[in-house]
Amino acid sequence: MKISGIEIIELSISSLPNFNVLRLIELNNQLVQAWLNSSKKPKGLPITLLREYYISLLLIKDDQNPYLGTFDVSPSPIYLYSWIRD
User: Tell me: the pLDDT tens digits for 8-62?
Assistant: 666 777 777 766 778 888 888 898 999 999 988 888 889 889 889 998 888 888 8
Q: Which residue range is the domain that position 6 belongs to? A: 1-38
Q: Do 32 and 56 fall into the same domain?
A: no
Task: Give φ, ψ of 72 to 5 degrees.
Answer: -60, 140
Q: Which residue has better confidence, 32 or 67?
A: 32
Q: Do 74 and 58 fall into the same domain?
A: yes
Q: Do 52 and 23 fall into the same domain?
A: no
**Cα–Cα dist 9/1, whole Å:** 7
pLDDT attached to residue 34: 92
What Rg do the C-alpha atoms of the chain give, in angstroms?
17
Structurally, the chain folds into a number of domains equal to 2
List CB contacts of 7: < 8 A, sequence separation 6 or more.
Answer: 1
Q: Do 48 and 84 fall into the same domain?
A: yes
Q: Do 16 and 33 fall into the same domain?
A: yes
User: Tell me: the pLDDT tens digits for 68-77?
Assistant: 777 766 666 6
User: Would you say 32 and 58 are in contact if contact means Cβ atoms under 8 Å apart?
Assistant: yes
Q: Do 55 and 74 fall into the same domain?
A: yes
Distances (CA, A) of 8 to 3, 18, 21, 35, 55: 8, 12, 8, 23, 22
